[in-house]
Amino acid sequence: MVVPSSLQPRILSSFAGVRFIRFAQPVQHLFRFNPGSKHVSMQLSRSLSGLTDLLFNRRNEDVADGKRKRLRPGKISPCRPVPNHILRPPYVGSRQPPGIASGPEVHDEKGIECMRASGKLAAQVLEFAGTLVKPGISTDEIDQAVHQMIIDNGAYPSPLGYGGFPKSVCTSLNECICHGIPDSRELEDGDIINIDVTVYLNGYHGDTSATFFCGEVDEEAKTLVQVTKECLYKAISVCAPGVEFKKIGRTINDHADKYRYGVVRQFVGHGVGRVFHADPVVLHFSKLHNKFFFLQFTCFIFVWGLHFISL
């Protein structure tokens, strides 16, 4: 990824408290926490700092009245209750995240039907959440509405309780790359927000996300989101039995390169089903030794959350 050398190699993560950060090697080396501070800093190479430049520094400079503020954590409300009759994932009650399960999960006919049901509900919840995006609404209010819709449909909000995560959906604003915690911060005109919905229905997780515009968004942010969407659908189009996983990453990487965008390498696509995060791990960038195959006459189900960086 090519970014200006003048950029500061640091991005402030305003979406997580220290108790919620439990990344495995090597991601944990990105974070630095100073006792007594309200923030966790994320040390990044220049190859990642362009995201801050697009959605952080340059956006601040472009707002003449100086109202555009850097993202800061708001107040987090208590965890929302889930009725006792709703089936919970095994990790609920443990503050230790289970991580990515070893070995791909191959779904039989019954499993595929269950995945269709959980995926359909997740998509419906995501579509509804997108209608809530407007200036003045807080991400906590979005979480409340999403939580209620999920439990009203007899499902469990998968993020809630995953490694201590306190909310039912992930809301990632502007320079927050992903997995943002909903709080009291209200959306502002010009924000972009990624909403990441996962539901646990009949023992299967359905996982999906999308990025939405809040009010009038600048052209740079619009292009960033559009190119990311194009990469997603180009990658989906190459999926077939016998195709090497590395072709997915190469397809994404090649299209992003045309617009001089880089791909965040610290997060990956993953299998999903009875387990929230499972093999196969799907890289979003080109890597020569990522040569696992899709198997003939079997069914893998996996999800991508593409995160791009602009110059």
- Candidates 2.40.430.10, 3.10.20.310, 3.90.230.10, 1.10.1660.10; correct CATH number of 10-309? 3.90.230.10
b (16+ CB within 10 A) / e for 144-175? bbbbebbbeeebbbbbbbbbebbbbbbbbbbb
Q: Which residue has the tokens 């919620």?
A: 20
Which is more confidently placed, 160 or 97? Answer: 160
Which is more confidently placed, 53 or 284? Answer: 284
- What is the pLDDT confidence band of residue 16, given thresholds at 50, 70 and 90? very low
Percentages of the chain per state (helix, strand, coil), in multiples of 5? 30, 20, 50
Q: 93-102, 120-129, 217-226, 259-268 — which is least confidently predicted?
A: 93-102
Question: Taking 50 as the threshold, does the pLDDT of residue 27 lie above it?
Answer: no
What is the structure's pLDDT at 113? 93
Question: What is the C-alpha to C-alpha distance for residues 310 and 48, in angstroms, rounded to an integer?
Answer: 9
How much of the chain, in percent, has pLDDT values that exceed 90? 46
Q: 142-146, 147-151, 175-179 — which is least confidently predicted?
A: 175-179
Question: Distances from the Cα of 165 to the Cαs of 34, 60, 145, 182, 256, in angstroms?
Answer: 21, 30, 17, 10, 31
What is the structure's pLDDT at 78? 96
Q: 1-5, 80-84, 195-199, 262-266 — which is least confidently predicted?
A: 1-5
| pTM, full prediction | 0.72
b (16+ CB within 10 A) / e for 59-70? beeeeeeeebee
Which is more confidently placed, 299 or 283? Answer: 283
Question: Taking 90 as the threshold, does the pLDDT of residue 17 lie above it?
Answer: no
Question: Distances from the Cα of 106 to the Cαs of 54, 115, 241, 302, in angstroms?
Answer: 40, 12, 13, 11
Query: Mean pLDDT over residues 135-149, rounded?
Result: 98
Which is more confidently placed, 160 or 15? Answer: 160
Question: Taking 50 as the threshold, does the pLDDT of residue 184 lie above it?
Answer: yes
Q: Which DSSP string corresponds to 232-261?
A: HHHHHHT--TT-BHHHHHHHHHHHHHHTT-
What is the structure's pLDDT at 268? 78
What average pLDDT is seen over the chain?
76
Question: Taking 80 as the threshold, does the pLDDT of residue 26 lie above it?
Answer: no
Q: Is-cis flag, bond preceding 26, omega within 30?
A: yes
What is the structure's pLDDT at 264? 82
Which is more confidently placed, 113 or 43? Answer: 113
- What is the pLDDT confidence band of residue 67, given thresholds at 50, 70 and 90? low
Query: Mean pLDDT over residues 224-243, rounded?
Result: 90
What is the structure's pLDDT at 172? 94
